[in-house]
């Protein structure tokens, strides 16, 4: 009878009478963090890792139309494609052009988005709601559509911009082609890129600015600080982690811009309008050098990784990211 009454307790794992209580093992916080992030890592490895591995393999082969249509394995040539690209002076011009283009886009995006976020905080509730809806509509517009709209605005024959600027006394914009000059042409493309990038950055910064304690800004204002000093001494230091994130994301997006340049130049971008993304596509599919285009894409990814690691590491050292 005694054995019958103790069996359920032992079967349930309860400690026998008189024995010390069994301690339940708990996972370390770091282990829990790794377990939580494991599904994301697995998904990224499948979605992003596999294409990157295939891209890297293609970059060390010599894939031509013969292998593409016959299904034969492409010959392995090692680092021959990289040596060919790195010995091409045009490649360095494309890299410099891409870096300058990216820097201009990111700087303009951050400045304009910051101003818009500050306006949203100061605006009334209904005005802020209207601005948010407008930004979301702009963000939802496909890049091809927005590029076509800007192309119409800056058209050399029927463009609204030429008509408006031509209204100024002494200015003749009749038949002016904005893309005839590389600087003005990239200026138009920059407008298209910044136009599409501002909504995400502005809404993100507004979300951060709305969390800044107003007591800190009021205290600075009482101490005699003006609006500029309040932003750079109080608001910006609190928003540094957000600025770091949006800066890295903006650099990644703008560094590999393709659609805006491609559509703006009618699917035939001249060499002086080619950035790394366009250059890689033209070399891969324009002249059927698929492996060479893959090598350019791999170099682009490496450049972005170097920048991202360096920038985030510097931010961690400065304590901008917890």
- Reading the chain (322 residues) residue by residue, the pLDDT tens digits are 444 444 454 544 555 665 666 666 677 888 888 888 888 888 888 887 888 898 899 999 888 888 878 878 888 888 999 999 999 999 999 999 999 999 999 999 999 999 999 999 999 989 999 999 999 999 898 989 999 999 999 998 888 999 998 888 888 888 889 999 999 999 999 999 999 999 999 999 999 998 888 888 888 888 888 888 888 888 898 898 899 889 999 998 999 899 999 999 988 889 999 999 999 999 888 888 889 999 999 999 999 889 888 887 777 776 655 5
Q: What is the predicted pLDDT for the residue at 18?
A: 59
Q: Where are the domains of the chain?
A: 32-320
Residue whose C-alpha is closest to residue 237's, from 199, 264, 266, 208: 208
User: What is the rounded (10 degree) CA torsion for 115, 121, 123, 124?
Assistant: 160
Q: What is the predicted pLDDT for the residue at 191?
A: 95
Q: What is the predicted pLDDT for the residue at 186?
A: 94
Instruction: Give the CA diameter of the chain.
Output: 112
Q: Which residues contact 145 (CB under 8 A, 6 or more apart)?
A: none
The partner residues of 76 in beta bridges, in order of sequence, read 61
| Beta-carbon-side half-sphere exposure of residue 251 (alpha carbons within 13 Å) | 20
Phi and psi for 61 in degrees, rounded to 5? -115, 175
DSSP annotation of 77: -
- CB distance 193 to 254 below 8 Å: yes
Report the predicted TM-score, pTM, of the whole model to 2 decimal places. Answer: 0.81
The count of other CB atoms within 10 Å of the CB of residue 295 is 28
Q: What is the predicted pLDDT for the residue at 312?
A: 78
Q: What is the predicted pLDDT for the residue at 318?
A: 65
Q: What is the predicted pLDDT for the residue at 5?
A: 46
CATH architecture for segment(s) 32-320: Orthogonal Bundle (1.10)
Q: What is the predicted pLDDT for the residue at 2?
A: 44
Q: Residue 208 is encoded by which pair of tokens?
A: 């951060």
């Amino acid at each position: 009878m005694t054995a019958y009454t103790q069996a359920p307790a032992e079967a349930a794992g309860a400690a026998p009478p008189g024995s010390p209580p069994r301690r339940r093992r708990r996972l370390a916080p770091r282990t829990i963090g790794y377990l939580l992030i494991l599904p994301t890592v697995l998904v990224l490895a499948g979605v992003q890792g596999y294409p990157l591995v295939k891209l890297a393999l293609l970059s060390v082969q010599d894939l031509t139309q013969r292998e593409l249509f016959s299904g034969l394995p492409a010959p392995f040539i090692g680092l021959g494609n990289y040596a060919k690209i790195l010995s091409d002076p045009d490649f360095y011009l494309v890299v410099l052009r891409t870096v300058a283009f990216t820097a201009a886009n990111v700087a303009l995006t951050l400045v304009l988005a910051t101003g818009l976020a500050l306006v949203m905080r100061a605006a009334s509730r209904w005005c802020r709601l209207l601005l948010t809806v407008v930004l979301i509509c702009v963000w939802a517009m496909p890049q091809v559509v927005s590029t076509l709209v800007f192309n119409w605005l800056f058209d050399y024959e029927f463009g609204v911009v030429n008509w408006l600027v031509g209204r100024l006394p002494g200015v003749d914009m009749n038949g002016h082609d904005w893309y005839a000059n590389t600087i003005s042409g990239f200026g138009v493309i920059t407008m298209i890129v910044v136009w599409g990038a501002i909504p995400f950055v502005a809404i993100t910064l507004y979300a951060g600015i709305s969390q800044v304690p107003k007591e800190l800004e009021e205290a600075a204002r009482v101490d005699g600080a003006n609006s500029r000093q309040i932003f750079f001494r109080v608001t910006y230091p609190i928003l540094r982690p957000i600025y770091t994130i949006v800066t890295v994301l903006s650099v990644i997006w703008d560094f590999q811009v393709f659609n805006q340049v491609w559509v703006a130049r009618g699917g035939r971008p001249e060499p002086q309008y080619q950035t790394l993304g366009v250059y890689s596509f033209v070399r891969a599919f324009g002249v059927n050098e698929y492996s060479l285009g893959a090598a350019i894409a791999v170099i682009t990814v490496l450049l972005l990784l170097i920048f991202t690691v360096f920038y985030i590491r510097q931010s961690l050292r400065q304590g901008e990211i917890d």
